[in-house]
Structures are given as structure tokens and as C-alpha cells.
Amino acid sequence: MPITTTVITGATSGIGKETALALAKKGHALYLLVRDMDKGEETKQELINLSKNNNIYLVFCDLADMDSIRNAVGILKSSLFSINVLINNAGGIFAQRQVTRDGFEMTFAVNYLGHFLLTHLLMPLLEKGQARVINVSSDAHRMGKAQFKDLQWETATYSPLKAYAMAKLFNIYFTRSIAVKYGPKGVTSFALHPGVVNTNFGEGLSGSSRMWLWLARPFMITAEQGAQGVVYLATGSRIDAKSGKYFKDGKVHSPSARATDDDARKKLWEMSLEMIEPLV
């Protein structure tokens, strides 16, 4: 059997780390895109020790830095002929509005646009590998609105939860667009809500945002449980026909009405291409 080559972001903690471990145990060759190489090395050695799989590699990639993403893609293209699975897992929620060196609001960049650029640049390898692209979204998308006139929160009062919810809504638009545009070339895509996972996610929040996390805590699951849905989409058989869909608990679920807005989906795609144009 040929080895499955999988690229994953956000694999040094939480769902990403548990997903990487499960896939390593299944024999995948893993390329971990990390922004903290020391933590990445610790994670790599831990995964090797637990899985007995030596095919685990680190690539530096900061999703808040578009040049870093381009450099990471260059390394992957020089190392690989094809990619079979891309897991866009990394994410974050930020208490205060921050702007990346490229001028993008941090929540938008890390949760959405960085992965958009990464996927766009890797598409030749994804096509060769007839790949599955898995975007870790969230049921928080149901609170999200596509504020196309103020994507960077320059005018509206910044809200951590609203910014996060919008980014997760965009993950679903992105998933559907990949299915539509690249399905004929053999690339499938899936979005999922992994569950509300009990990790350090959201540390530093205050006020109503902190209260939201506190209220959700009794319903939280472990990172290992949250990874199960990602692993299913990465390895499950007979799911290609469900490309473009939103998953929860291993099954297709209906996303919000806003998430099915094709005009908004197409508009986001075009705006995203314009934003990354100077970078490709």
C-alpha cells in the first residue's frame, strides 16, 4: 500500500496533536506546519515515540505571515510529489484586535486567509494526490456574518467572538468553493465542527467572551474525542460524494442559512484572491 502523505497545521496541541497521533499510528507520512520549532520538535519526538512511525517532519509556517506560508510551500514542493490530505486545523481567538505584518486582522488571517493562501499554493500537489482538504470550522459559524465592507474590523467595534464566528463561516464558504472548483480535478473538501474541546483555546479573553467559554465548559469534550471527526474525514471510505459538506459527530449536518449563500461564497473567493494576489 502506498503511504498517505498528510500536511497539517496546528499540530502541536489540542485537536491537531491528537489528529496527528492517530494518523501517525495509521502509517501516514506527516508534515507538521508549526510556528514554534522547539515545541514542534517536542511534539514530533512524542508522536514518533507513541506511534513508532518515523515519517514525521517539521516545516516552519506562521499562518499570520504570508511570506512564511510561501516559504513553507516552497519547502513542501521541493520535498513532495503529491499530497493526499491537507488538514487546515490551526486557529485562534484574540481578546484584542491585532493586525498582522501584511495588514490583516489576526483572527481573519490565522483562521481563514492563511489557510486560503496555503491551500491555493499547494493546489498542484493536492491535484496530483487526489487530495482531501479538511477545514476545521465550528458551530460558532452560526453566529457569523460576512461583513464584506469591514473584513479587518477597522470600522466596527472589534468583538473576539464575532470575528471568530465570521472566520469560521468563511471556512465553510471556502470548503464549498474547493469542492465546486477542484472537484472535477479529483480534489475533495470537507468542513467540520469537532465539538467544543477542553483545551487552552480562548485563554486571555474577558467579559462576555470569557462568559461564553465558561458556559460551554460543562459540555466540553477531550481533544482526543474532538480529533475523531477529523480522522474520519481524513481516512474514511466512500465519503467523496459528500465533498463540500459540513460534518458534525461524523455525519453531514446542515450549516447555518448564511453558510449556504452562494453569492456570498463566490464574493469571498474573489476577494480572497485579490488579497493574496501580491503574494503569489
Type of residue found at 148 = F
The structural domains of the chain, ordered by start, are: 5-279 (3.40.50.720)
**Of 38 and 207, which is predicted with more confidence?**
38
Tens digit of each residue's pLDDT (9 = 90 or more) over 137-157: 999 999 999 999 999 999 999
Share of the chain above pLDDT 90, in %: 84
Tens digit of each residue's pLDDT (9 = 90 or more) over 229-256: 999 999 999 999 999 999 998 999 999 9
Task: Give the pLDDT score at 210.
Answer: 52
Could you give the residue numbers annotated as active site? 164
Tens digit of each residue's pLDDT (9 = 90 or more) over 29-64: 999 999 999 999 999 999 999 999 999 999 999 999
Task: Give the pLDDT score at 280.
Answer: 76
Residue the block writes with cell 500536511: 7
Share of the chain above pLDDT 70, in %: 91
